[in-house]
Structure 1
Amino acid sequence: MSDKPDESEKTEEASSKKLEEAHKKGDVAKSQEVSAWFGMIGIALIIALLAGPMASQLAQPLSTFLAEPHAYDMDGGNILRIVQRLGVMVFLALALPLLLLMVMAVIGNLVQHKPVFSAENMKPKFSKISPLAGLKRIFGPIGLMNFVKGLAKLTIVSVIAFLVIWPERDMLGSLMRVELAMIPLIMQQLALKLVIGIIAVLTIIAALDFAFQKAQWAKKQRMTQKEVKDEYKQMEGDPALKGKLRQIRAERGRKRMMAQVPDATVIVTNPTHYSVALKYEEGMAAPICVAKGVDLVAFRIREVAREHNIPLVENVPLARALHATVEVDDEVPPEHYKAVAQVIGYVMKLKGKLRR
């Protein structure tokens, strides 16, 4: 039996961890139609903006060569130099259009997914050279869909070409009577019409195909309930991760606790090892512990208390008892009411004297 889970068992959406792993392997949602759409946009820009300058750049040396071939020495060495010179001219004329097409190809990939740098697809795999696997790819559902899609695209492009060129048939037939300098401009306009028509239809095809590829990719990345549980166990079982999470939670809790110290009514201290900050206001059922700590945390609580003129009362047994039995944000338990009431009563009297 295969170790791969049945597709029907994949009922859970992919976790962010699995999506990140798929991206690292180069497994991303990608539509070839979107890339083709950007390629056609590049071709349209070349025809509209660069075709004229490119034709002019090539026309002058080629026309001279064709008009006066007798002026050139045709020995072996000279022919090589002529070919090299023409090759350089052609390269320079085509360099900018080729660069534009490369840029559009990159943009066509970037709009679909973030950059991918993976050697996973370069690794040798038996399935890539297996005839059986190749036949499954060709005659499988995806292969048949790609065949139908390619046939539909070819049909649509043919129809568009017919609709664009057929109305211009009389003009094309009279090109022999048109000035030679006007022919490139006429052909440029006709080619631009054809490309724009293809882009209009390809826009719809690309949008539908991208949505389809995205949905198929998301379906492929789904997880079984067992995979979800295993991943959760793996993450929770990592000691380093658990320790880091505990550290983060403790730090956040400590910061929130220290922020409540200025609201305390009194600090009950050991006075060296324990500090418990209590808050009591008229109408409260019982005092509340807003902060507590030992050693360095206790020292910091006392420092904040002194900065905000909060009374510190030394009571060793009460400080130890409160630290052991009361959690932060909880009320003081009834067994400590009497001792706490005496401390808070003392603080209230002290505040009254200071006001007088």
Structure 2
Amino acid sequence: MAEQQDQDDRTEEPTQRKLEEAINKGNVAKSQEISTLFVLGGFALATMLAAPSSAGILVEGLTAFLRNAHQVPGDGAGILAAARQAGLVMIAALAVPFVVFILAGLMGAGLQHRPLWATEMLLPKLERISPLSGFKRIFGAEALVNFLKGLFKIAIVGTLAAIVLWGERARMEELVTLDPRLMAPVISAIALKLLAAIIALFFFVAVADAIYQRFAWLKRQRMSRREIKEEFKQSEGSPEIRAKQRQIRMERARRRMMEAVPTATVVITNPTHYAVALKYEPGMAAPVCVAKGVDALALRIRERAREHDVPIVENPPLARALHASVELDAQIPVDHYAAVAEVIGYVLRLRRRRA
């Protein structure tokens, strides 16, 4: 009941991180019909390319065996030697089709997803041997879909085979009158025609099944709101950690400002609340704010300026306006050019007088 309730709570679409974790564990969307389609295609290809040579190898090997059957000793060693020779003939005849089958199966699996090495799928799990889980796998919704899909494939393939073979009934009736050596091309042609029809049908079945498997896989990966919140906390960090990181960033920014105050040209202040340090050098388009602060931070900026003989000018309206409108390491707004130019001009004249 609790598991059903948890499944019902999973109403949110999975995140990219959730999908990547499932893929890395070997849980991917895959359609068995795609692999079946490729195996059928490989069988058809092997029939077209390798059937004549394989048949020739079998005929030659078995003919030689049957002609010399009377020479095979009747003891155990002779029988084993004959069986070994027959096995070698079968391997030589079926090696090419077998390789084609393997390659076709690998292509069918590789087409659906990139190769993965997921050891977690090999680990034993209690749910795999649980009778309740096994009952759900056998009588669940997915098992019902697979059962109906199997019935549909049997019915449609049987119907298709009957239609194709019914159209070839005249040629099949002639097989009994043909020389055995001439039967292979006729049987091969009928088999290829039947395979082509089945492959064409399985193409649509495989495409439909691949779409359904993708939909079902995404549905299984759905998340509850609680899982999304937990993932967000894991990826972004807890509020306490984020607050600590924000505090560290602010401390670093204050340290950089304090280091930049000695390079300022002037510090414009409201006597008790605001302080804005501006830097201007010949060739600059406009003065740049290198430090600013209020209350305790403003006091530290003023103290730092006094320690390094940076001029401090009291101008409360301008200090408040600059603190509100200019960002650190940014040029002052155009609206304040005139007022700031007057202050900087005053500072420069003062420096010349002292010099």
2:264 touches 2:279 (CA, 8 Å); kept in 1? no
Matched position secondary structure for 2:168: helix
Letter of the structure 1 residue corresponding to residue 232 of structure 2: Y
Q: CA deviation at 1:176?
A: 2.5
Q: CA deviation at 1:61?
A: 1.1
Equivalent-residue separation in structure 2 for 1:275 and 1:82 (angstroms): 101
Letter of the structure 2 residue corresponding to residue 192 of structure 1: L
Specify the alignment match of 1:196 in structure 2: 196
Letter of the structure 2 residue corresponding to residue 179 of structure 1: D
1:137 touches 1:143 (CA, 8 Å); kept in 2? yes
Equivalent-residue separation in structure 1 for 2:196 and 2:153 (angstroms): 15
| Greater Cα shift, 210-219 or 93-102 | 93-102
Deviations 1:56-108 (A, max 9, x none): 12210101222342243333222211211221221232222212211111111
Letter of the structure 2 residue corresponding to residue 180 of structure 1: P
Q: CA deviation at 1:137?
A: 1.7
Specify the alignment match of 1:149 in structure 2: 149
Specify the alignment match of 1:265 in structure 2: none
1:39 touches 1:101 (CA, 8 Å); kept in 2? yes
Within the alignment, does 1:105 sit opposite 2:109 as a pair?
A: no
Q: Equivalent residues in 2 for 1:250-329 (5 A)?
A: 269=263, 276=279, 287=286, 289=288, 316-317=310-311, 326-329=327-330
Q: How many residues align?
A: 298
TM-align CA RMSD: 3.9
The 3 A distance-change label for structure 1 pair 329 and 3 is farther
Equivalent-residue separation in structure 2 for 1:51 and 1:292 (angstroms): 83
Specify the alignment match of 1:118 in structure 2: 118
The 3 A distance-change label for structure 1 pair 177 and 342 is farther
Letter of the structure 2 residue corresponding to residue 42 of structure 1: G
Equivalent-residue separation in structure 2 for 1:188 and 1:11 (angstroms): 53
Q: Looking at CA atoms only, which structure, 1 or 2, has the larger radius of gyration?
A: 2
Equivalent-residue separation in structure 2 for 1:192 and 1:43 (angstroms): 9
Letter of the structure 2 residue corresponding to residue 208 of structure 1: A
Q: CA deviation at 1:130?
A: 2.8
Q: CA deviation at 1:203?
A: 0.6
Letter of the structure 1 residue corresponding to residue 45 of structure 2: L
2:11 touches 2:224 (CA, 8 Å); kept in 1? yes
| Greater Cα shift, 79-88 or 127-136 | 127-136
2:58 touches 2:89 (CA, 8 Å); kept in 1? yes
1:34 touches 1:207 (CA, 8 Å); kept in 2? yes
Matched position secondary structure for 2:127: helix
| Greater Cα shift, 59-68 or 127-136 | 127-136
Letter of the structure 2 residue corresponding to residue 124 of structure 1: P
**TM-score for the superposition, normalised by structure 1:** 0.71
Equivalent-residue separation in structure 2 for 1:112 and 1:14 (angstroms): 20
Structure 2: gaps of 5 or more residues? 250-261, 266-276, 292-307, 313-318, 350-355
Deviations 1:17-62 (A, max 9, x none): 1111101111111111111111111111111111111111221010
Specify the alignment match of 1:184 in structure 2: 184
Specify the alignment match of 1:209 in structure 2: 209
Q: Equivalent residues in 2 for 1:165-180 (5 A)?
A: 165-180=165-180
Equivalent-residue separation in structure 2 for 1:63 and 1:89 (angstroms): 11
**TM-score for the superposition, normalised by structure 2:** 0.71
Specify the alignment match of 1:80 in structure 2: 80
Equivalent-residue separation in structure 2 for 1:202 and 1:80 (angstroms): 43
1:34 touches 1:210 (CA, 8 Å); kept in 2? yes
Specify the alignment match of 2:305 in structure 1: none
Letter of the structure 2 residue corresponding to residue 237 of structure 1: G
Specify the alignment match of 1:162 in structure 2: 162
